[in-house]
Structure 1
Amino acid sequence: MALNHIVFGIVGSEKAWRFRKTYIESWWRPNHTNGYLFLDKPPGPPLLPWPETSPPFRVSDDLTDLLNNKSDIRAQRMVHGIMEVLREVKDHKTLRWVVMGDDDSIFFVDNIVDVLAKYDHTKYYYLGGHSEFILSNYYFSFNQAFGGGGIMLSYPLAKALAGDIESCLKRYVFLNSADNTTKACIADIGVNLTPHQGNHQVDFRGDISGFLSTHPLAPLLSLHHFDMVDPIFPAKDRFQSTRHLMTAAKADQSRMLQQTICYDRRSNWSLSISWGYSAHIYERIMPRSYLIIPIETFTPWLKTLKPPNYMFNTRSRSSADPCEAPHVFFFDSVQETAAIGSGGGIVTSYSRAWPRPLPACLSSGNHSADFIQRILVFSPPTKRTSTDRCECCDIIKADGGEAEVIVRECRSNEIIA
């Protein structure tokens, strides 16, 4: 399985492209990634000449006559794009998968290749992720992939769907959701969703750092809705944040956002690392069962009267309890190093985001972590190929304003608590 076995279909608008192309160009690899951007109309002079750093563009088909002059055909246009992207592929012999996304979808293509390689591409598969906001799934479907996070179709399914697409769009012309329409058309072929926890619709508002710092034990495949949330790194805008995140992804996508937890028993500290994004130090020992619960730094996609709001549990954003509030560090840099044995490795650096204006945690010995300004994380040079279990780590230094951590495979009977 290789990247050239996949074709990407990105659906966007001419008006928004100038603001969103940075998202797509952050992961698009010219001359290596196959795919097309489908715009609602031809690009105007400000977008021309068309850069090689962007996917080649096409203009979506006019569906006015097909849908009997329906006034709003945005949903149908996106579904019809599945057929259009297949139509653009000249040689179907090497095609195994079709991946559809939005013009503000960020894909981690190496991880997508590795994940899809585990499925039989000659069978009918429909993969993707749920919305994180529970009401979105309730209103639309718990059995659909949300398209911003990516809809991944095996070639036989995409071909069958393309063959029925116009009939299906007429059959479900009353639906105004592209993702729900896609699900309905696929259901009529006899296929249900195979959900994947690495596809993220990002149906949140505000600060999503608490979510990104506790990623599920699954390869990160996509992130969506960056226009709708705060920049994910301090002192950077959304586009700078996207490029910064992808610098870590270029070094090792297999570990992106993977949570690793270890302890400094002398100081009674717990350290949680979200590889390539953030690190947290807690001034007491906390088991992994607790630290994998996201801190609710974010707010729901829509205002609700009462919980539940999310498809997962959360813990409150405590700013007053020094035994609960973490010292927060964000990804700063990445480089290859020869410091890990003879095989070398990758070192990521995480810098303190801001001072924690709290005293030390008295109940665990009054060992303050205020003096730590940077955390260096040393990880192996080889990518992870198994996700049945997280990695473990050891804190090898915590002095002079710096902590150093080595990431390793967990021992067979190791307990992370």
Structure 2
Amino acid sequence: MLFQMKPRFLPTFTFTVCALAALYLISISCTNRHLIFPASEFFYPLLKSTPFSTHKISDPPQATHSRTNLSHLVFGLIGSEKAWHHRKAYIESWWRPNVTRGYLFFDKAPSPGLLPWPETSPPYRVSDDLTELLNKSDIRAQRMVHGIMEVLREVEYENFRWLVMGDDDSIFFVDNIVDVLATYDHTKYYYLGGNSEFILSNYLFSFNQAFGGGGIILSYPLAKALARDMENCLKRYVFLNSADNTTRACIADIGANLSPQKGNHQIDFRGDISGLLSSHPLSPLLSLHHFDMVEPIFPSTDRFESTGRLMEAAAADQSRMLQQTICHHRQSNWSFSVSWGYSAQIYERIMPRSYLQMPVETFKPWIRTPRPPNYLFNTRRPSRDPCEAPHAFFFESVERKTESDEILTSYSRAWPRDLPACSSSGNHSADFIQRIQVFSPAMKRNQVRSLKYCYC
């Protein structure tokens, strides 16, 4: 693999890299300068209420060896009529009319201002009133659990394999969900989802539950078994005030257990979550939740613009979304970290990969606690040391390069770093870099046999 650098005021030189990956081109555009690199794996820098239904819950589908696809999934989304006017942008960012299947369940019938109902949103239903059944007025938690049965009441197609439950501010990456579910046997009991990132949430509820905002995924046989005893189970656990914990308890009574998924994100944080999204684990991104509770994830945008920009990258290639690649450019003593479709960073020092894989703690815990630990993963503190503080670039655009069958993503500088160069590694400043471009193959990441990292 050959790298070429041609900055205006620097001598031209070449160097060779030995890698097992397919070749990619890294180009870095600067103010009055231009550098071109070729790198490995998908990294490369350009240095931009409906009445109660009496429908019968159908029998489980017959076992089949066909690969799971999107038509086998049904979504059940629990929403608030009051919040829908601003939350529908989250759902419509990933919902595919006439392709995705499922229903949105409101707490009450939509007001005239929400009608006529748009085709860009999931069809809506109104949740059953459980106050008489449970003899209590606050049935918010139980309403979400009961929604599992209500979705199955509506389902009439025979190829239903998986039920995905979520909230009206949940963003799902449906192609990745399909790829993950295709590795499981849908004819058996499976309960999938992710923990909260916040340790206290898991401690207060359960370390063995899927947090529903990030998505609760049930195989059809398990969903049907759960629905069959739904009312008895809700009465049995009427004292619980958490929908997710109630779901876990009901599933445990059936005999199933959680299969944790690192790609389901509850996002139990406050503030700026860019540190987490820039160091995502190498697991398929399945969902993001709580966008109402965090700052917009891209600079100079609101929450809905941020969502749209993220999904623009996802539309080009979900398999690479937020997947981190780390590369070292030895001659400049620089380290690159790219979170595909979201951000790119340049460190002016060779940094250990184990260090860069830890998210920078740009965020705050869901609830203020007196002392760490707060999270289920290790973090590193933000730094103003010029050898540790990165130059930050965020996703700007994506395009398909048909002549080379590649996808080009561009990342632009977010703000000046306003620090001197790192003196301990040779004073090779990256201040002049304005944009990073990443060239990746126009095929799913798991179809490319290559290294996850590159050496320069």
Check whether TM > 0.5.
yes
> Contact 2:326–2:336 at 8 Å: present in 1 too?
yes
1:166 is matched with: 231
1:409 is matched with: none
Q: Superposition pairs for residues 249-398 of structure 1, below 5 Å?
A: 249-318=314-383, 320-338=384-402, 340=404, 344-385=405-446, 391-393=452-454
Q: What is the one-letter code of the residue matched to 1:359?
A: P
Q: What is the one-letter code of the residue matched to 2:137?
A: S
Task: Encode CA deviations 1:103-162: one digit per residue, 9 max, x unaligned.
Answer: 000000000000000000000000000000000000000000000000000000000000
| Secondary structure of residue in 1 paired with 2:385 | coil
| Secondary structure of residue in 1 paired with 2:131 | coil
Aligned equivalents of 1:25, 1:58: Cα separation in 2: 17
1:214 is matched with: 279
> Contact 1:75–1:178 at 8 Å: present in 2 too?
yes
The structural deviation recorded for 1:265 is 1.2
1:119 is matched with: 184
The structural deviation recorded for 1:263 is 1.6
1:185 equivalent in alignment to 2:246:
no
Aligned equivalents of 1:16, 1:73: Cα separation in 2: 18
2:298 is matched with: 233
The structural deviation recorded for 1:385 is 2.3
Aligned equivalents of 1:383, 1:82: Cα separation in 2: 32
Aligned equivalents of 1:53, 1:391: Cα separation in 2: 37
1:20 is matched with: 87
The 3 A distance-change label for structure 1 pair 381 and 84 is same
Aligned equivalents of 1:244, 1:356: Cα separation in 2: 24
Please point out which of 78, 99, 105 is paired with 2:144. 78
1:402 is matched with: none
> Contact 2:131–2:138 at 8 Å: present in 1 too?
no
Q: What is the one-letter code of the residue matched to 2:107?
A: D
2:195 is matched with: 130
Aligned equivalents of 1:271, 1:298: Cα separation in 2: 22
The structural deviation recorded for 1:241 is 0.2
| Secondary structure of residue in 2 paired with 1:66 | helix
TM-score for both structures, normalised by structure 1: 0.92
2:121 is matched with: 54
2:35 is matched with: none
| Secondary structure of residue in 1 paired with 2:134 | coil
Task: Encode CA deviations 1:198-237: one digit per residue, 9 max, x unaligned.
Answer: 0000000000000000001100000000000000000100
The 3 A distance-change label for structure 1 pair 113 and 65 is same
- Structure 1 residue runs of 5 or longer lacking an equivalent are 396-417
Aligned equivalents of 2:449, 2:189: Cα separation in 1: 25
The structural deviation recorded for 1:384 is 1.8
Q: What is the one-letter code of the residue matched to 1:88?
A: E
The structural deviation recorded for 1:65 is 1.3
2:97 is matched with: 30
1:406 is matched with: none
1:411 is matched with: none
Task: Encode CA deviations 1:137-188: one digit per residue, 9 max, x unaligned.
Answer: 0000000000000000000000000001000000000000000000000000
Aligned length: 389
> Contact 1:79–1:181 at 8 Å: present in 2 too?
yes
Task: Encode CA deviations 1:336-364: one digit per residue, 9 max, x unaligned.
Answer: 11464xxx110000000000010000000
| Secondary structure of residue in 2 paired with 1:215 | coil
- Structure 2 residue runs of 5 or longer lacking an equivalent are 1-67
| Secondary structure of residue in 1 paired with 2:83 | helix
Aligned equivalents of 1:279, 1:325: Cα separation in 2: 13
Aligned equivalents of 1:127, 1:211: Cα separation in 2: 22
Alignment RMSD: 1.3
Q: What is the one-letter code of the residue matched to 1:213?
A: S
TM-score for both structures, normalised by structure 2: 0.84
1:407 is matched with: none
The structural deviation recorded for 1:391 is 2.3
> Contact 1:217–1:387 at 8 Å: present in 2 too?
no
The structural deviation recorded for 1:394 is 6.8
Aligned equivalents of 2:449, 2:379: Cα separation in 1: 23
Aligned equivalents of 1:58, 1:102: Cα separation in 2: 14
Q: What is the one-letter code of the residue matched to 1:80?
A: H
Aligned equivalents of 1:104, 1:6: Cα separation in 2: 19
| Secondary structure of residue in 2 paired with 1:137 | helix
The structural deviation recorded for 1:62 is 0.8
| Secondary structure of residue in 2 paired with 1:315 | coil
2:110 is matched with: 43
Aligned equivalents of 1:65, 1:389: Cα separation in 2: 59
Aligned equivalents of 1:164, 1:356: Cα separation in 2: 58
2:156 is matched with: 90
The 3 A distance-change label for structure 1 pair 159 and 304 is same
The structural deviation recorded for 1:392 is 2.8
The 3 A distance-change label for structure 1 pair 213 and 239 is same
- Computing the radius of gyration from Cα coordinates, the structure with the larger value is 2
Task: Encode CA deviations 1:20-58: one digit per residue, 9 max, x unaligned.
Answer: 000000000000000000000110011000000000000
